[in-house]
Amino acid sequence: MTTVSVLRGVHPGQPATILANGPSLRQHDLRKLNRVIGPVIGMNRTHQLLDTVRQDYFVISDREWMGVPAVRDHPGLVRTESSGPGPGHQVPPCMADGFSFNLAAQGWESGNTTLLALQLATYVTEARADIGVLGLDLRGDHFDGTASAAGMIYQRFKFHAAEIQLQRRGIQVYVVGSPNSLADMWPRISFDDWLEKAAGGWLDD
């Protein structure tokens, strides 16, 4: 186990892509993300997509995922104390509310792994890059057909609070490839348009 401090600023100014777990992930050819410049951050159920799309970092906050070998052995595993003992880059105990731009000092989990991924994205890019989030549907189900136990109203409230902090730092978050997302705190952008941003000019083969 190592601390998350070794990851600070390793992708300065590079757009970060986050794979949340909503069903809109199934609508896109995620293999195209293997050509983006900046980091790709997966979480929880996206371990099922590791053979399809590279995930430079993998974020968890629940103990159950440490039982999945592909997660436990991921070289870019970032996890909270609540995930139990084991390998990976550990985030210090999370505060109950807020948004941390310094995960080595204090993290914020608040029952929402996507929020932890957002904080990691700002940490590895030195808070100097756009962030695109795929699969942020907030409609109560996952891309693999399982149901979400998280309260969607509560999650939206937390995202709105995070947006205030991100806006103060001039960080733009986009909801990518999910036109029916309930994440109304951030602008929507198509998958192809995000590839243009994240790849510095996207050209199909």
Which domains, from first to last, does the chain contain? 2-199 (3.90.1480)
In this predicted structure, the answer to whether residue 201 has a pLDDT above a threshold of 50 is no
Residue-wise pLDDT tens digits, 58-108: 999 888 899 999 999 999 999 887 777 788 998 887 665 678 899 888 776
pLDDT band for position 51 (cuts 50, 70, 90): very high
Amino acid at 178: S
Rounded to an integer, the average pLDDT of 154-173 is 90
| Residue position matching structure tokens 């957002």 | 118
pLDDT mean across residues, the chain = 89
User: Which residues in 161-177 are b (16+ Cβ under 10 Å) and which e?
Assistant: bbbebbeeeebebbbbb
How many alpha carbons lie under 13 Å from residue 37 in its C-beta half-sphere? 17
Whether 204 has a pLDDT exceeding 60, the answer reads no
Burial (CB count within 10 angstroms: exposed 0-12, middle 13-18, buried 19+), residue 61: buried
> Angle between the 113-124 and 152-168 helix axes, to the nearest 10 degrees?
20
Residue with tokens 């192809």: 192
Q: What is the mean pLDDT of residues 137-152?
A: 83
CB atoms near residue 140 (< 10 Å):
15
Q: What is the pTM of this model?
A: 0.93
pLDDT of 203 reads: 39
Is the separation of the CB atoms in 133 and 20 below 8 Å?
Answer: yes
Checking if the pLDDT of 112 tops 90, the result is no
Residues 34-55, mean pLDDT to the nearest whole number: 95
Does the pLDDT value for residue 159 go beyond 70? yes
Q: Is 92 left (phi over 0), alpha (psi -120 to 50) or beta?
A: beta
Answer whether residue 153 shows pLDDT above 90. Answer: no
Residue 67: per-residue pLDDT: 92
